[in-house]
Structures are given as C-alpha cells and as structure tokens.
Structure 1
Amino acid sequence: MMFATSSSSDEFQSNEMELDLDEDDDESVGSVVENKSFWDNQHQILQTNLYRTGSLESRLRNATKEAVRDIQQNTKMVCSCSTQITVRSTCRNCLLLQVSRRLQNAGYNSAICKTKWKTSPTIPSGEHTFLDVIDRTNKKQDVRVIIELNFRAEFEMAKASEEYNGLVRKLPEVYVGKVERLSNIIKVLCMGAKRCMKENKMHLGPWRKHKYMEAKWLGPCKRDTSTTFLSIGYSEVMMPKPKAKASLLTVDLLEKLPNMHCTAVEVL
C-alpha cells in the first residue's frame, strides 16, 4: 500500500521563513547577537512542537513505550541472528515487528512502513523503515501518526556545536507524533544543522540535508500490516523439559519382580 504525506496545518508552529534549506549560499553566519537569536528561536519552535500533543498522540506514545519496555524486559525473546531485541539492537526489523504487533493487539491500525528514494542532484539514494498508525475515527479525514524508535540518533552529528547538540538533546528517543508535527521538527533540526556547519566552516553532508531527512519519513511509502514472525525468522527460546531418571533401587526391584506392574519414579 502506497501512502502519500499531507501538508502542514496551522495547529503546528513552524518557521516563518520561507526558504530552501538545501540551497547552498555564501552568506555569513551573522553576528553573535543574531546567532543567539537564531538558536533561541529554534529551541522555542522545537519545544512547542514537541510538547503540544493531542490525545491520540499521547495514547499512542504511552502504548508504544509500554510495548518497547515489555520487549526489553523479555530476556527469552531473540531474533534469527540470536541478538536480544532492544531499541539499539542491530536487528531493527524484529523490534519494529514486535511493537507493531502489540499496537495492533491494542486496537490500532499499525503497520511497518518503508520509504525508498532515488538519487537526485542534491541528495543520494536511500531507504528507511519505521512504524505508523492510521486513525480513521475523524469524520473529516484520516490522521496519520509516525512512530520512530530511534529518533534522537537520526539527528546526532559528530563535531556538532553545543547549540545544535542542545536541540538534539530535546528530542525523544522514541518519537510518536503526527506528520505535520514531524515536518516542523525536521525543518528546525535541518536549519540548525546547516547553521552549525556554517559556524564551524564545514561542509554539510547530503544525508543531513532537509530533503533527505524528509524523504525518510514523509516520502511515499509501502505499509505492511503483517505481523508474521516467520517472515523475518523470529523465534523464541524454549528449553525442553528434563526427563525423569529412575534410581538404581527402582531398576533392581524391576529386575527381581518382573511380573509386578511398577511405575518408575525419580528418587530425590
């Protein structure tokens, strides 16, 4: 199933500046006062979009965190590569599948989404996998909520400035929010990354650009609602029950009294 994203709505605060975040320019980074004003503004916009959430997002956030916590605490749950399933596990597919399954059991229309994009003049090709939930209780239109289990790490940069790292530290590890909210958060972080690289007189990698980051979650995607474990080789560790052993005394009695019907029992 292909799913296209919608545009931003008025309920989310965004940057008022209409600009191409990926366009390279030779402008200076401005004075100290201008830089401070820029970072203060980015922090304010980010905080507004992170904390003003609706009831649907709050319920889904709690359900997602509970699912992740249960998976982490289940030490008998492993994937086909024998890796314990955690948020930072290398086997991301197993974790996504388990969380999606738990959300479906809770009554949500959850699916594993995969975006894939081709190389363009400004960004390289790539693909990304995450979760979403489609809520159809709204009579006007469907509401799509994006779930990213490793959100903060997607924006971390080596040799970043303290101002940019301050933005990243505000991000939750597990993001659960509407498409419009995510779009504004991406814009804030990408503007911050661009300013950070300019201040450090460094080149901004194409995988850090606004178009690339948007393509990860907001591009056309395929939704897979299947929760079949065998599709990714999922298994649970099951220990066989030990067999009861007959004692030497029991064996001796059976040999001397062959006509008696005796039941061998284990002597502790």
Structure 2
Amino acid sequence: MDRQSSDDIMRFLDGMASSDDVLFGFLDEGNQSPEDFNLNGGSDTDDVDGNGNCTSEENKVFWQEQEQLLQGTLYRTSSIETKIRQATKEALKQVKSKGLHCVCLRPVAGGCRSCLRDEISRHLRDVAGYDCVTSKSKWRSSQDIPAGEHEYIEIIDRSDSKKGEMRVVIELSFRAEFEIAKCGEDYKRLISRLPEVYVGKTDRLRSLIKILCIAGKKCLRDNKMHMGPWRKHKYMQAKWLGTCERSNSLGAAVSETTEPENWVPRAKPRVSMLNYDGLLGSLSTGIGRHAAVTVV
C-alpha cells in the first residue's frame, strides 16, 4: 500500500504538544460523568432499517442523543487507561524531539506511519515497561464486507489480579477512521468530539464503534450517499476486535483467545479496500517485521 510523505506525521507531532486534550480527547477518572447510557440493547447497526424518513425535530433529537452517548463513553475512563494515555503522550513527545527515521525497504524521508507505530510501541515497552505489541488484524470477505487487514498498537495489562487480563488499544489515527467526505454538519460535529489518538479498553472501543456506525449510516442515508461495505459495523469491529497477529521487536508473542461480537474468521491476508487519506498515510511493509503467532 502507498505511503504518504512525512508532512502529515510532522503536522501531527507539531500539533500534539499544544493540544493534548483535543488529541487524546478523554477526561480522567474522577471527573463528573454524564448519565450512563445503555449501549448494549437494540439490533446490529448493519441491520437497522434505513428507509424511514425523520422529521426535523426527530433528526435533532437523534444527533443530540448520539453526542450524549459519545461524550458519556469518553468520560468513563479508568486509572490504567489514564496512565497508558500519559505514557503514549510522552512517547509521541520523544519521537517529536528525536525525529522519526524510516527503516522500511523503501524509506520515506521523515518516517512513515508504520515506523511511527513501531517507535511508539518500542517506547511503551522498553521505557514505560508495558507489555506492548504491534497487532495486525486480518479478515476474509463475506457477503456483507470485503477482506481486509489493519495494524494498531495493543497493551496487555495484568496489574489487577481481581479483574484479570485487560486489553488496551492504541490507535494513532482514530478520528480519521470514521471521517466521511461531504458529510453533513451534524456528523461532522460528532466526529470532531473524537480523540485523534484513541487509548482505551476494548469494551469502550466497542461502544464507540456502535455509536459512530449508527451515526455514519444515518448521515449517508440522509445525504443519499452510498454506504461502502468498509463503513459497516462488522467491518469496523474487525479492525480492532477480531483475530490478529501480535509481534514485537524482540520476536516474542503471546497467544490468547478472543470472541468478539460479529467476528468474521481469519483467512489468507488481503489488502483492505479502505483508502487512508487521513493524517498519517497508509500502512507499509518494513524490514522491521518479526515473528508472530496467530491469536484465535
């Protein structure tokens, strides 16, 4: 897949130092939280009837509810998420101060998205001391969605023996994953509430995906735009909540079993149809790849 130049990465790092609240978008544990909304009920967002017409008042209520759901989810953040978020901020600042050097087979001056992800992962593992890996999710095509793959950072936290193992996902271009060209003002305003960098537990991520996919479907329907299969709920879930390969710079990996909602079984890896025109460019294949094991 093609990679953009270093300009987007440098703009991202330049904006990071002065706008942490906007970049990460979460409020720490202990802040007053809005009402806890129920996100578990209702049908799958891919099966919601999209033929109904809403009045102006109904539209207003819908978008207000979605914004409240989104803000309520972002408010609820645990102490371990806050610590990892702070460590990620420090890692980004370190990359900004040292500069990013691309080690891919076809290097990009100033670094690429893949090398940025690897450098952040290395810092979180070697400096901050977290069990941090680079995870690559892969899924095959089905009647509903095309095949694809996605790469992100993941931390396995085992600090709380009572709660057991917890997965924390780090997505460096989270907002860009949900942006829609020529979207309406209501959807644009909702997306602006998202953090640029997502650092959080998988159950929080699952709730955010559901909120955003419902909103995205309504946005496209109201604007009489085609809904690409890569925008469906199942496709977005597969990016972060499905079967993946985990690897780190030491070549070590850990196996675990996950059974995410609406998961599509893994098959031969193929390139995603989704074109990234967001902040950090597309993924690349670098010389820094190492051994990985499949998580089933």
Same fold, judged at TM 0.5 (above): yes
- For the residue of structure 2 that corresponds to 1:222, the secondary structure is strand
Residue 119 of structure 1 corresponds to 141
Counterparts in 2 of 1:29 and 1:65: CA distance versus 1, 3 Å? farther
Normalised to the residue count of structure 1, the TM-score between the two structures is 0.76
Matches within 5 A, 1:29-44: 29-44=53-68
Query: Is 1:83 aligned to 2:106, yes or no?
Result: no
Aligned-partner Cα distance in 2 for 1:199–1:25: 13
Alignment match of 1:129 (pick from 136, 143, 151) = 151
Aligned-partner Cα distance in 1 for 2:156–2:193: 26
Aligned residues: 217
Aligned-partner Cα distance in 2 for 1:203–1:67: 39
Matches within 5 A, 1:166-181: 166-181=189-204
Alignment RMSD (CA, Å): 2.0
Residue 255 of structure 1 corresponds to none
Residue 240 of structure 1 corresponds to none
Gaps of 5+ in 1: 1-10, 86-90, 235-268
Q: Is the 8 A contact 1:21 1:190 kept in 2?
A: yes
Aligned-partner Cα distance in 2 for 1:121–1:74: 46
Q: Which moved more, 1:175-184 or 1:73-82?
A: 73-82
Aligned-partner Cα distance in 2 for 1:102–1:12: 35
Residue 123 of structure 2 corresponds to 102
User: Offset at 1:30?
Assistant: 1.3
Q: Is the 8 A contact 2:101 2:110 kept in 1?
A: yes
Residue 153 of structure 1 corresponds to 176
- For the residue of structure 2 that corresponds to 1:22, the secondary structure is helix
**How far does the alpha carbon of each residue in 1:31-74 deviate from its partner, in whole angstroms, 9 at most, with x for none?**
11111111111100101111221110011111112111221232
Aligned-partner Cα distance in 2 for 1:125–1:176: 26
- Percentage of pairs with the same residue: 47
Gaps of 5+ in 2: 1-34, 252-284, 289-296
Residue type of the alignment partner of 2:95:
I
User: Offset at 1:77?
Assistant: 3.0
Q: Is the 8 A contact 1:100 1:227 kept in 2?
A: no
Aligned-partner Cα distance in 1 for 2:247–2:169: 14
Query: Is 1:195 aligned to 2:221, yes or no?
Result: no
Q: Which moved more, 1:22-31 or 1:174-183?
A: 22-31
Aligned-partner Cα distance in 2 for 1:224–1:16: 32
Residue type of the alignment partner of 1:196:
C
Residue type of the alignment partner of 2:140:
K
Matches within 5 A, 1:161-240: 161-226=184-249, 232-233=286-287
Which structure has the greater CA radius of gyration? 1
User: Offset at 1:24?
Assistant: 6.0
Q: Is the 8 A contact 1:119 1:125 kept in 2?
A: yes
User: Offset at 1:12?
Assistant: 7.1
Q: Is the 8 A contact 1:29 1:35 kept in 2?
A: no
Normalised to the residue count of structure 2, the TM-score between the two structures is 0.69
